[in-house]
Amino acid sequence: MEKSHSGLGIASFILALFTWFGLVGLGIMAVVATGGSEFADDSPVAIGLGLGIVLVGLIGILAVLLGIAGVLQSERKKTFGFLGLVISLLAIASTIALTALGNWDETTPTEDAPAQPAP
């Protein structure tokens, strides 16, 4: 009898795709909303984008957990579980890297504002 695909793996794959496309969509919305310029951290746009990233990140974590469960099912095909796991981990790693890059850019001293001397 042929093995069937894991329902958990398929769910992981779908959520991983939603995570990836959600992050891309939020990135596009950020660029369009700002017009390439900076905006205040407490603006409604920044708050909405931040909440969106958190929501998509939580969905990505759920996709990782479902992917692990789908891969560990012994009597099912592991294809979609593996794909969901890899895609969601890449999406989460990309989010962490871009967030760190954005924060690093804000904390880097510029010519206008020299670094503070050590006390």
* E strand or H helix at 47: helix 44-72
* Nearest residue to 89 (alpha-carbon basis) of 115, 70, 62: 62
Query: How many domains does the chain fold into?
Result: 1
Other C-beta atoms closer than 10 Å to the C-beta of 54 total: 11
Distance, CA of 7 to CA of 65 (rounded, Å)? 13
Could you report the per-residue pLDDT of 13-70, keeping only the tens digit for each?
999 999 999 999 988 888 888 776 777 778 888 888 889 988 999 999 999 999 999 9
pTM of the predicted model as reported, rounded to 2 decimal places: 0.78
Distance, CA of 25 to CA of 80 (rounded, Å)? 23
Asked if the model's pLDDT at residue 113 lies above 60, the reply is no
Whether 109 is in a domain gets the answer no
Whether 104 is in a domain gets the answer no
Average confidence score pLDDT of the chain: 84
| pLDDT for the residue numbered 50 | 85
Asked if the model's pLDDT at residue 11 lies above 70, the reply is yes
- Show the domain range for 21: 4-96
| pLDDT for the residue numbered 38 | 73
Whether 65 is in a domain gets the answer yes
- Across 19-23, 78-82, 114-118, least confident range: 114-118
